[in-house]
Structure 1
Amino acid sequence: MDGFSFCISNSETKEPILFSKYNFSNSIKTPELLLEEIIKIFNSDKDLQQDFSSVFAIHQNNLATLVPNQLFDRNNLAPYLNYTVKTLKTDFITYDVLDTTSASNVYIPYVNINNYLFQNFGEFEYKHHSTVLIDKLLSYSKENSEQQFFVYVSQNELDIVICKEGKLIFYNSFSYSTKEDFIYYILFTAEQLEMDPDSFQLTFIGDIEKESDLYLITYAYVRNIHFMNTINNFFADSEDFTNHANFILIS
């Protein structure tokens, strides 16, 4: 609800060709207003007015929950969200099957955005952002024997993923409005998992830089912090974007 970004890649080599990002000055309040902003972007951005061999959309919101596959029933999705998400009878609920762990991700996508993309491009794939994030991080960490603490930062949300040797130990998404909220969720999660802030390594991904208040307050409590080192160096010479900030789309 706070922005829109896209990447155009070579369909054969999968190498990124172009990346663009639109940040909204205020978080959009409803999916209807979000669609209005998306339509404006599509109407004005020539790069989006091309023919593409395939389209993959990622919905980023906190309207999701992970369900172990042994407890999962694809014909009865609504109950999985009832304890964590305020749902309406008219909501369309779907799921992703994670590639790297025995779980499914139940979530509510922005159906009106999907309908608009279908009108523009025809058939396309879509997933929830946490599905892509978890799958990428589990693949990234499978050779590491240490427990890894990842924090993916968005404008008003943070996702925490903890894994070891490619196995998911913890995932959750939290809303924050202050830097104190932000560090609280990190320290609370560490405490619940008995991880010592003086010894574990925290890896930042997403919309955070070393000069930010979020980084500085985290460094006051957590000793070992670094930013994700991505394999892809598409943004190596960019003054506007960094590789760790756009890990979900380009890594």
Structure 2
Amino acid sequence: MEITNNSVIQKSYKKLSIQVSLNGLSFCCRDTLSGQLISFEKIDFSNFPKIFTIENSLWKSMLDFSDLTKSYDEIVVLHENNLSTFVPKPLFDEEYKGSYLQYNTKVFETDYFAVDEMGKHEMVNVYVPYVNINNYLIDQFGSFEYQHFSSILVSKLLDLSKNDEGQNMFVHVASSHFEIIVIQNQKLLLYNSFEYQIAEDFLYYLLFTAEQLHLNPESMKLFILGECSENDALYQKAYQYVRNTSLLDVSELQKTNSFSTQENRTHFILLNT
């Protein structure tokens, strides 16, 4: 959904982007004329009372941060969960979109399935959005666009892989889960999400994925982004077993804001909306 009824006089020339999960949210406000970020915040729902529902947490977030209640020309909401799958466009049938998810997650007849069209990459992302979060935000904003966070992640990594014929693995790290993306010739070979607790969990899934795709840890390239730095145990484990391990270059993204290099890697998805 889009806001389309603003006149030129009413325009704020500002865009609000929100990335939300069951554990928290982060948001940024951008000046659409200059392209520069105006503000950025990250909110951890665990800091709220344990009795809070997700709606209570959203209410408290809006109460605490006035930027979430201002007027915007455009609002984008990114749903962060592991209930998604990518489907080549020629194989996609709108009438059976729920069936594509049944192989990697448990789905129910009552689930609502959404689709992100990724036209230039000739595929779609089928996912289950947080309907209760959407309903709450509709009451607050009136209308907005929403996507799955992996649509932004994969699309941007595909763009960055232009003119690279090698099989490259990208790992996006969050606090309790990470996503593995393997790309060759600007084509998505694999996308999957894994939960982890310790660095050994992380290493196991990383090497197992490489083995399944016949990627050689001695020659493959591994790029890490998200909540991970060179000093983290996850990076150290990966670097120990995968020779060509490095942090993703975010120098182009950094030109649009005043954040550090690591902050641009950590919030790569949100800052690319």
**Higher helix residue share:** 2
Residues 51-66 of structure 1: pairs in structure 2 closer than 5 A:
51-66=71-86
Residue type of the partner of 1:214? Answer: L
Which residue among 103, 107, 111 is the counterpart of 2:131? 111
In structure 2, C-alpha distance between the alignment counterparts of 1:198 and 1:236, rounded to whole Å = 36
**After superposition, what is the alpha-carbon deviation per residue over 1:106-152, rounded to whole angstroms, capped at 9, x for unaligned?**
11101111112211112211110111111111111112233221001
8 A contact 1:206–1:245 mirrored in 2: yes
In structure 1, C-alpha distance between the alignment counterparts of 2:45 and 2:141, rounded to whole Å = 24
Q: 1:121 — aligned with what?
A: 141
Residue type of the partner of 1:2? Answer: N
Give the aligned length. Answer: 248
8 A contact 2:36–2:257 mirrored in 1: no
TM-score relative to the length of structure 1? 0.90
Q: 1:20 — aligned with what?
A: 41
Q: 1:44 — aligned with what?
A: 64
Quick one: structure 1 residues 45 and 205, their matched pair in 2 at CA, closer, same or farther if it must change by over 3 Å?
same
In structure 1, C-alpha distance between the alignment counterparts of 2:32 and 2:181, rounded to whole Å = 30
Q: 1:215 — aligned with what?
A: 235
Q: 2:267 — aligned with what?
A: 246
8 A contact 2:37–2:257 mirrored in 1: no
Give the 3-state SS of the residue equivalent to 2:53 in structure 1: helix
Identical counterparts, % of pairs = 39
Give the 3-state SS of the residue equivalent to 1:160 in structure 2: strand
Q: CA deviation at 1:238?
A: 4.5
8 A contact 1:152–1:206 mirrored in 2: yes
Q: Which of the pair has the greater relative contact order for Cα pairs under 8 Å at 6+ separation? A: 2
TM-score relative to the length of structure 2? 0.83
Give the 3-state SS of the residue equivalent to 2:124 in structure 1: strand
Give the 3-state SS of the residue equivalent to 1:75 in structure 2: helix
Residues 167-182 of structure 1: pairs in structure 2 closer than 5 A:
167-182=187-202
Residue type of the partner of 1:250? Answer: L
Q: CA RMSD in A?
A: 2.3
Residue type of the partner of 1:242? Answer: E
| Structure 1 unaligned regions, length at least 5 | none
Q: 2:24 — aligned with what?
A: 3
Residue type of the partner of 1:216? Answer: Q
Q: 1:161 — aligned with what?
A: 181
Give the 3-state SS of the residue equivalent to 2:41 in structure 1: strand
| Structure 2 unaligned regions, length at least 5 | 1-21
In structure 2, C-alpha distance between the alignment counterparts of 1:204 and 1:52, rounded to whole Å = 33
Runs of at least 4 residues of structure 1 off by over 3 A?
234-239
In structure 2, C-alpha distance between the alignment counterparts of 1:228 and 1:101, rounded to whole Å = 21
